[in-house]
């Protein structure tokens, strides 16, 4: 939650700093970034540009303040764009391309682009399942694609049961309507859990996938010689490297 201090600077989580808490400043040594102020008798409303001290990206705040001159005697932060919402932790061994796609889905969620977020979270699931040797049939619901994952013991029965509820209805091909935000929050957390199941203890998961005959070279349709990675080395399926 963004907050404003006595100097008029704002503390908020920056989307361009991967959600880290940062200070947004309204001026630098030699310039003020700009503002429009609507002055009333008792208080003024200021639309002000800010800059992240960490990465330099811009932001806009609407601040109500009392007193004749900015930053005034008292300040109330009305709105602040753009502020990153909470970012879910992801497994360290998760391929960067999947991390990027998951984070982009979270950005869509921040911006209220719920259908876009839904499409990206589902895309993350399809890509990691493919990368781990599962055949995706586009004609079947995505929740059904997790049947064999559960049979292989990669995900728990409880997670499998939840899949039908969370992934049950794919609205992307429907006429335009906005899915409830609560459904997107559930999908985000479910996707994160699947990523943890597949990548949190990667060496153990690789052994389970190998036992199940899932890790195959997609180009040659031949089994890939997989061995547990040595300590400190990450295992990435070829299709995600
Ligand atoms: Zn930043």
Q: How far is the CA of 107 from the centre of ligand 1 (A)?
A: 14
**Max mean pLDDT range (112-116, 155-159, 190-194, 222-226):** 190-194
Q: How far is the CA of 85 from the centre of ligand 1 (A)?
A: 13
Residue from 215, 232, 234 nearest 96 by CA:
234
pLDDT at 220 over 70: no
Q: Sorting pLDDT into bands at 50, 70 and 90, what band is 234?
A: very low
pTM passes above 0.85: no
Q: How far is the CA of 20 from the centre of ligand 1 (A)?
A: 8
Check whether residue 124 and residue 236 sit in a common domain.
yes
Check whether residue 106 and residue 77 sit in a common domain.
no
In order of 24, 38, 103, the CA distances from 59 in angstroms are 8, 19, 19
Q: How far is the CA of 216 from the centre of ligand 1 (A)?
A: 40
Residue from 205, 207, 98, 194 nearest 146 by CA:
194
Determine the pLDDT at residue 230: 45
Check whether residue 155 and residue 205 sit in a common domain.
yes
Check whether residue 76 and residue 101 sit in a common domain.
no
Check whether residue 169 and residue 57 sit in a common domain.
no
Q: How far is the CA of 71 from the centre of ligand 1 (A)?
A: 22
Tell which of 81, 112, 133 closes a domain.
Answer: 81
- Mean pLDDT along residues 46-54: 97
Q: How far is the CA of 98 from the centre of ligand 1 (A)?
A: 22
Q: Residue 87 falls within a domain, yes or no? A: no
Average pLDDT, the chain: 86
Q: Residue 88 falls within a domain, yes or no? A: no
Summarize pLDDT for 110-159 with one digit per residue, the tens: 878 899 999 999 999 999 999 999 988 888 888 888 999 999 999 999 99
Check whether residue 22 and residue 134 sit in a common domain.
no
Q: Residue 120 falls within a domain, yes or no? A: yes
Tell which of 81, 114, 140 closes a domain.
Answer: 81
CB-based contacts of 124: which residues, under 8 Å, 6+ apart? 98, 101, 102, 105, 191, 195
Check whether residue 44 and residue 118 sit in a common domain.
no
Check whether residue 104 and residue 146 sit in a common domain.
yes
pLDDT at 165 over 50: yes
Check whether residue 116 and residue 224 sit in a common domain.
yes
Q: Residue 89 falls within a domain, yes or no? A: no
Q: Residue 104 falls within a domain, yes or no? A: yes
CB-based contacts of 198: which residues, under 8 Å, 6+ apart? 91, 128, 132, 154, 205
Residue from 179, 167, 159 nearest 143 by CA:
167
Q: How far is the CA of 56 from the centre of ligand 1 (A)?
A: 6
Q: How far is the CA of 18 from the centre of ligand 1 (A)?
A: 8
Q: Residue 180 falls within a domain, yes or no? A: yes
Q: How far is the CA of 51 from the centre of ligand 1 (A)?
A: 8
Q: Residue 132 falls within a domain, yes or no? A: yes
Q: Sorting pLDDT into bands at 50, 70 and 90, what band is 20?
A: confident
Check whether residue 70 and residue 106 sit in a common domain.
no
110-117: list long-range contacts, CB under 8 Å, 24+ apart: 110/15, 110/82, 110/83, 110/84, 110/85, 111/82, 114/178, 114/179, 114/181, 114/184, 115/171, 115/172, 115/176, 115/178, 115/179, 117/184, 117/187, 117/188
d(CA 149, CA 156) in angstroms, rounded, equals 9
Tell which of 24, 46, 81 closes a domain.
Answer: 81
Number of domains in the chain: 2
Q: How open is the CA angle 136-139-144, to the nearest 5 degrees?
A: 60
Q: How far is the CA of 99 from the centre of ligand 1 (A)?
A: 18
pLDDT at 42 over 90: no
Check whether residue 60 and residue 139 sit in a common domain.
no
Give the domain extent around 145: 96-240
**Residues by chain with Cβ below 5 Å of ion ligand 1:** 14, 16-17, 22, 52, 54-55
Q: Sorting pLDDT into bands at 50, 70 and 90, what band is 178?
A: confident
Q: Residue 149 falls within a domain, yes or no? A: yes
Check whether residue 148 and residue 198 sit in a common domain.
yes
């Amino acid at each position: 939650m963004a907050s404003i201090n006595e100097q008029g600077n704002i503390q908020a989580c920056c989307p361009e700093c991967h959600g880290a808490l940062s200070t947004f400043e309204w001026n630098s040594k030699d310039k003020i970034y700009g503002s429009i102020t609507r002055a009333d008798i008792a208080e003024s409303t200021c639309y002000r540009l800010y800059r992240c001290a960490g990465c330099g990206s811009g932001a806009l705040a609407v601040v109500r303040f009392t007193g004749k001159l900015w930053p005034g005697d008292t300040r109330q932060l009305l709105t602040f764009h753009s502020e990153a919402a909470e970012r879910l932790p992801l497994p360290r061994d998760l391929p960067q391309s999947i991390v990027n796609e998951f984070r982009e889905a979270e950005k869509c969620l921040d911006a209220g682009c719920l259908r876009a977020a839904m499409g990206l979270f589902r895309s993350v699931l399809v890509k990691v399942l493919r990368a781990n040797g599962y055949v995706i049939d586009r004609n079947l619901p995505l929740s059904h694609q997790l049947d064999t994952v559960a049979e292989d013991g990669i995900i728990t029965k409880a997670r499998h049961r939840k899949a039908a509820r969370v992934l049950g209805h794919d609205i992307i091909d429907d006429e335009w309507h906005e899915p409830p935000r609560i459904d997107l929050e559930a999908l985000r957390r479910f996707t994160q859990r699947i990523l943890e199941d597949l990548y949190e203890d990667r060496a153990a998961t690789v052994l389970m996938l190998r036992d199940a005959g899932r890790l195959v070279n997609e180009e040659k349709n031949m089994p890939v010689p997989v061995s547990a990675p040595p300590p400190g080395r990450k295992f990435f399926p070829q299709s995600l490297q």
